[in-house]
Structure 1
Amino acid sequence: MRVEARPRARFFLAMGVLFLAVALAGFTGTYFVPLARRSFSAPAVVHVHGALLFGWLLLFIAQAWRVRQRRMVQHRRWGWFGAGLCVAIMASGVGVGLFATRRDLAAGGGDFALGQFVNILVEMLLFGALVGAAVAMRRDGESHKRLLLLATISALAPAWLRFRHFLPGVPHPFVTFSIVADTLLLVAIARDWLMLRRVHPVYLWAGGAMVAVHAIELLAITSAPWTGMARWLLGVSG
């Protein structure tokens, strides 16, 4: 049992490092470099949200490392910190959404900006639901860690979208990079199949639900229900 568990822990540790690399690469040009040049201007909630998300990625790596080292008492203690971090990420994410939507509407973003606000709210609820499910299933280690992996994959979508600045020739970047973001689920599924000769049910029901939500967001972003909901929430007239 002990020999079998180590390779499994290694995969989640490696995925955590990959997540961090994607986030650093994605936000370097649009956040870190402008920040260093003192040309980045945004309210405090943007900086707080960014710090919380990078804190989540570092915690994911640290927790995977603790499992690998069999430091399960520490892992459980820090897990409750992660639950609180999730709540803070959701709250600050809504604040960032409000700021970005008002900014984009002022710049003429129109229905896309309104629909994007609803997408942000849905994404925060999805992240919270996946983390909440992971907390509820914390005694089932195999389900628990896969749910947290899915939550992190979902949270990385904004970083992936910023890769359009590196690859300006990519057609329909909003759709393309949203699809690329979810392909990490295929990596996790492939790893399960290669190592275990089966796919864990979490990847099927929770992962399938995640992809379905993302597909609905892409299709509905400028639809009447999405823009109408955004106008109602923001108090913006049609």
Structure 2
Amino acid sequence: MATSPITQGAPKTTEGAERRFHLYLAIAMSATIVAGFSVHLAMGRSTFAVPPIFHVHALVFFGWVALYLAQTALIAGNNARLHRTLGLIAFAWIPLMVVVGIALSLTVSQRTGGPFFFDKNQFLFSNTAHLLAFAGLAFASLKVRRHGGWHRRLMLVAFAILTGPGLGRLFPLPLLIPHAWHFMLGVVLVWPAIGMIRDRMVMGRIHPAWLWGIGAVLAAQLVADLIAYSHWGLALTEQYTAGTPGGERPMEAFIPPGFAL
């Protein structure tokens, strides 16, 4: 998450205000992730008694949350040198997140078939698509790190993708079957939408990075849906989960017998 070289001294008022805005939004996004998982843990819907990949996933992904928060705080405080140095971690951390994230999705698909309020095939392919979208946007952000406006906006959209699991635990998604996944996608995109509104209010225009970022997320979902609901996608999902607990649940989202919110 390295960024552009910063001129000596305090940043311009508008630049400083923008950096603080991204810091506040980073804090809000991180808080929703923590809140979502904490609420489920407190309600007994989550447990630490899970296979090791779950713990590795938590360590890696919450590590990114900490890194993103640190980076936004550093640049908001005009500490560009440490920001650039710490940002080098991202080049190795992003691929690690993709590998661990896909490994967890595959494990969950066989273990439970995914959350019951998502179609089994949709969960399998959409998770992978969004992980790749995250990685693509994050690396694109790093590539244009000398252009602060693009860098911070693309990175924010990438981070917004990761808020989905936390946010999903704060909404009654079983009541939104069969549209739970796409509903959550809309909620995730509220974060960049807030940035777009601020751009319009402060600059009088919307920075194109938002449109590219949101477009990438929507494109990833479109591709995921086309694959997931194709004959090939349905067959692959059935084949991959066959003979496992995940293969015993319906392909479509469903309400388990006796379930209550």
TM range (shorter): 0.7 to 0.9
Matched length = 232
Cα pair distance change 1:216/1:161, threshold 3 Å: farther
CA–CA separation in structure 2 for the residues paired with 1:41 and 1:230: 26
Residue by residue over 1:175-217, the C-alpha shift from the partner in whole angstroms, topping out at 9 and shown as x without a partner, is 3222111122211110111111111111112222213323554
Q: Which runs of 5+ in 2 are unaligned?
A: 1-10, 248-261
Q: What's the counterpart of residue 140 of structure 1?
A: 147
Residue by residue over 1:67-115, the C-alpha shift from the partner in whole angstroms, topping out at 9 and shown as x without a partner, is 122111110111111222212211110111111000124x997x93233
Please say if 1:124 is aligned against 2:131: yes
Instruction: Give the superposed CA RMSD.
Output: 2.9
Contact 1:138 1:144 (C-alpha < 8 Å) held by counterparts = yes
Deviation at 1:2, TM superposition (A): 2.0
Contact 1:153 1:181 (C-alpha < 8 Å) held by counterparts = yes
Please say if 1:67 is aligned against 2:79: no
CA–CA separation in structure 2 for the residues paired with 1:108 and 1:188: 30
CA–CA separation in structure 2 for the residues paired with 1:87 and 1:108: 25
Contact 1:131 1:151 (C-alpha < 8 Å) held by counterparts = yes
2:182 corresponds, among 167, 175, 184, to 175
Q: Give SS of 1:45's match.
A: helix
1:4 corresponds, among 14, 30, 41, to 14
Deviation at 1:150, TM superposition (A): 0.6
1:81 corresponds, among 80, 89, 97, to 89
Q: Give SS of 1:164's match.
A: coil
Contact 1:27 1:159 (C-alpha < 8 Å) held by counterparts = yes
Q: What's the counterpart of residue 185 of structure 1?
A: 192
What TM-score do the two structures reach when normalised by structure 1? 0.84
Which is richer in helix? 1
Q: Give SS of 1:138's match.
A: coil
What TM-score do the two structures reach when normalised by structure 2? 0.78
Q: Which runs of 5+ in 1 are unaligned?
A: none
Give 1 or 2 for the bigger CA radius of gyration. Answer: 2
Q: Identity of counterpart residues, as a percentage?
A: 24
Deviation at 1:236, TM superposition (A): 5.2
Please say if 1:41 is aligned against 2:53: no
Please say if 1:94 is aligned against 2:108: no
CA–CA separation in structure 1 for the residues paired with 2:89 and 2:106: 26
2:211 corresponds, among 204, 209, 213, to 204
CA–CA separation in structure 2 for the residues paired with 1:32 and 1:134: 36
Q: Which amino acid aligns with 1:3?
A: T
Q: What's the counterpart of residue 220 of structure 2?
A: 213
Cα pair distance change 1:143/1:115, threshold 3 Å: same
